[in-house]
Amino acid sequence: MNTTGARIGCGAGFAADRIEPAVDLVERGRLNAIALECLGERTVSLAALRRLADPGGGFDPMLAKRVRPLLEPLARTGTRLVTNAGAANPLAAARMVRGLGADSGVRTSVAAVVGDDVLDRLDLSAPAWEDGRPLREHGEIVSANAYIGVDAILPALETGAGVVITGRAADPSLFLAPLMHELGWDPADRDRMAAGTLIGHLLECAGQVTGGYFADPGPKPVPGLARLGYPLAEVGADGTAVITKLPGTGGRVDRMTVVEQLTYEVTDPHAYLTPDVALDMTGVGVTDLGGDRVGVGGARGRARPERLKVSVGYRAGFRGEGEISYAGRGALERARLAADVVRERLSGALPRLRVDIAGLNSLHGDALAEGGEPYECRLRVAGLAGDLATAEIVGEEVSALYTSGPAGGGGVRAAATEVIGVLSSTVAREQVHTEVVVMDDTDDREEQGA
Amino acid sequence: MKVRLYDIAHARAGDKGNLNTIALIPYDPAWYPALCAAVTPRRVAEHLSDRVSGEVVRHRLDNVHALIFVCPRAGDDTVTTSLHLDTHGKSLGSALLELTIETAGPADGTAGSR
């Protein structure tokens, strides 16, 4: 246990994030732990489908690419790795990482946290948060994963494992657990739980707190955005922290970047709910210390939710899309004519159809799309259908604009894919049984513990 | 005076299922009271009516001078089933900053923005 403080970094904010900044953080950050957040709401459902097709798959396909350059510096610096990249199959992910260690001669103990998959226990009559209708009315359900928290992750850290791989753990819990482990925080200390959750929330999107997703040349410049460094927190035993980044990296950490991330995806700042605590951020102080250092503190915690949130994936049909561009004099009028033609040709073929002109109104609609005519614009047509063949008609009709649409169209792209919808509901805590499986490379046994 | 939000504030949008959150943060905290007065949930709902339906809820974070708007998306438009180009609605922060408000100006009487 460390009573003076801990250092924790974030090396990925989503499944497709960049890899190099994580290596830099482990090499130079003097970290106790680094977390990689790789699991969006939809990602775990898509992973569950891949696991159905291949029982050895279903974890983040980028995991090997991400972990391979990290294993040696992790072992050399004594930094521990926590990641939810196990997605729908943390056990297979852990086995793969252990194999990577063996191949590269790095001795690493890997622990998998399993048990977030509650598909066989899901109450299908429970209402979906999104529309209040019972889950079963939305279509064939393919996955159900409960958001697990520090209760599940701490036992894995206590085994001494260098790498801990989870499935659907709540994002801030990936940070709170190693902080608790390092600083000896008591789970009954709600303000410490809230402080660690706040730190996790600020770090979890990686580059978003260091100037990523922030730059607007002029009012919001970000130096060296191409070399954006990822964040780390210097955490005191009392839960106060400094958010910062490594010297020499691009980006910026100041009051503006931290407040944008503080408010990100927050639906109730009085009670930001995780499996571990209800974080009240209305008393949080953000102090710009200069030099890419921002102090945060003042998080308050209340009792954690009684039930766990569960993310439910269901088959929602097939999305068909087609795009074509027009440029030069009259481009907008030709795109509008093309839109009318496609709409007429697809009339009644799909239950839902959307036609936009990218460069004009595809993001915010017509009301805000005032001003001059763009030099070039791109027609975009998207539809949702019950079967793949019908969804493909959208792209086929957009492609047909080449020879039977307005003049000068170019650059057609067409695609059709299955849509996995995601709904949220809750599950009783006692329905969720997590356990830790340790894979130690000193022998071939897999030890199982509660 | 009329002020476009883009000239005095920055924003970040996030998403949860069939909700979008949009934070509005003045460059200069002196503008925070003016934003609280002028950028009402109803005003935001009207301004974003292409993408947002139902009641917009506003939270004040006085401690960091930020407003959070929680916006329900229209009908069956969830992040995963959306037909929009921006399925997540991540560009909605820019849409909010296009809003022009009528205001007496910043609390300290300066015209300072960023």
Q: How many CB atoms are located within 10 Å of the residue A94 CB?
A: 27
**Per-residue pLDDT tens over the stretch A198-244:** 999 999 999 999 999 999 999 999 999 999 999 999 999 999 999 99
* Strands of the A278-280 sheet, one edge to the other: A272-273, A278-280, A300-302
Residue in the structure block whose two tokens are 């949008």 = B13
Angle at A202 between CA A197 and CA A208, to 5 degrees: 155
Residue A328 lies in a domain: yes
Interface residues of B toward A, Cβ cutoff 8 Å, are: 6, 10, 12, 14-19, 21, 23, 25, 27, 48-51, 59, 61-66, 68, 70, 76, 78-81, 83-86, 91-92, 94-95, 98, 114
Residue A152 CA, chain-centre distance (Å), reads 19
In a mutational test of the B interface, the residue from A14, A43, A130, A350 whose CB has the highest number of chain B CBs within 10 Å is A130
Q: At residue A55, does pLDDT exceed 50?
A: yes
Kindly provide the residue ranges of all beta strands, DSSP E only, lying in A229-269, ordered along the sequence.
Answer: 231-236, 241-245
Substitution target in B7, B12, B91 with the highest count of A β-carbons within 10 Å is: B12
In a domain, B109, yes or no: no
Q: In the prediction, which pLDDT does B36 show? A: 98
ipTM: 0.96
Q: Rounded to whole angstroms, how far apart are CA atoms A286 and A293?
A: 10
Give the C-alpha separation, A9 to A323, whole Å. Answer: 40
Is residue B104 a part of any domain in this protein?
Answer: no
- Specify whether A358 is located in the same domain as A389: yes
pLDDT at A56: 95
- Residue A130 included in any domain: no
Examine the domain organization and report whether A90 and A177 are in the same domain.
Answer: yes
Number of domains in chain B: 1
| B63/A282 CB distance under 8 A | yes
Q: Which residue of B has its CA nearest to A313?
A: B80
The tokens describing A63, both together, are: 């995991």
Residue at A224: amino acid letter = G
Distance from CA of B91 to the nearest CA of A (A): 7
On whether residue A124 sits in a domain, the answer given is no
Q: Which residues of B touch A268 (CB under 8 A)?
A: 59, 70
Measure Cα distances from A36 to A171, A358, A409, A410 in Å. 9, 34, 43, 41
Q: How far apart, in whole angstroms, are the C-alpha atoms of residue A350 and residue A358? A: 22
Beta carbons of A424 and A128 less than 8 angstroms apart: yes
pLDDT at A109 over 90: yes
Report the residue from A42, A219, A365 with minimal CB separation from B80: A42
> Which A residues, 382 through 421, put their C-beta within 8 Å of a C-beta on chain B?
382-384, 419-421
A222 with A259, same domain: the answer is yes
Residue B113: per-residue pLDDT: 47
Residue of A nearest to B13 (CA): A264
Residue A202: closest CA among A146, A275, A276, A285:
A285
Locus of tokens 């073929």 = A349
User: What are the pLDDT digits (tens) for A138-170?
Assistant: 999 999 999 999 999 999 999 999 999 999 999
Adjacent-strand bridge partners of A169: A148
Q: Are A353 and A381 in contact, with CB atoms under 8 Å apart? A: yes
Contact B17 A424 (CB under 8 A): yes
Phi, psi dihedrals of residue A58, rounded to the nearest 5°: 100, 5
A442: pLDDT confidence band, cut at 50, 70 and 90? low
Give percent helix, percent strand, percent coil of chain B, each to the nearest 5: 25, 30, 45
Burial (CB < 10 A; 0-12, 13-18, 19+), residue A337, is: middle
Do A207 and A164 have their domain in common? yes
CB contacts of B12 in chain A (<8 Å) are: 213-214, 260-261, 263-264
The tens-digit pLDDT sequence of chain B (114 residues) is 999 999 999 999 999 989 999 999 999 999 999 999 999 999 999 999 999 999 999 999 999 999 999 999 988 788 989 999 999 999 999 999 999 999 999 987 665 544
Residues of A in contact with B68 (CB under 8 A): 263, 266-267, 269
Residue A25 near residue A246, CB atoms below 8 Å = yes
Position A137 in a domain: no
Task: Give A16's contacts in chain B (Cβ within 8 Å).
Answer: none
Angle at A75 between CA A72 and CA A79, to 5 degrees: 115
Do residues B18 and B71 make contact, with C-beta atoms less than 8 angstroms apart? no
Interface test mutation site (partner B, options A263, A354, A361, A380, max chain B beta carbons within 10 A): A263
Q: Is A288 on the interface with B (CB under 8 A)?
A: no
In this structure, the answer to whether residues A175 and A101 fall within a common structural domain is yes
Instruction: Report DSSP letters for A104-163, one per residue.
Output: HT----EEEEE--B-GGG--TTSBPTTTSSBGGGGS-EEEEEE-B-HHHHHHHHHTT-SE
3-state secondary structure of A381: strand
A403 and A254, same domain (yes or no): no
Residue A195, domain extent = 5-117+144-308+425-448
Q: Look at residue A91 and tell me if it is in a domain.
A: yes
- Does B114 map to a domain? no
CB A283 to CB B15 under 8 A? no
Is B102 part of any domain? Answer: no
Residue A51 sits at the vertex; the CA angle it makes with A150 and A130, to the nearest 5 degrees, is: 60
For chain B, state the CA radius of gyration. 14
B67 part of a folded domain: yes
Within a domain: B82: no
Report the chain A residue with the minimal C-alpha distance to residue B95: A364
Q: Please indicate whether, in this complex, the C-beta atoms of B50 and A256 are within 8 angstroms of each other.
A: no
Domain CATH number, residue A334: 3.30.70.100
Report yes or no: A319 at the B interface, CB cutoff 8 Å: yes
The CATH number linked to B58 is 3.30.70
Nearest Cα to A113, choosing from A429, A430, A435?
A: A435
The reported pTM is 0.95
Interface A–B counts its CB contacts (< 8 A) at 136
The count of other CB atoms within 10 Å of the CB of residue A205 is 24
Q: Which residue of A has its CA nearest to B62?
A: A282
Range of the domain at B40: 2-75+91-97
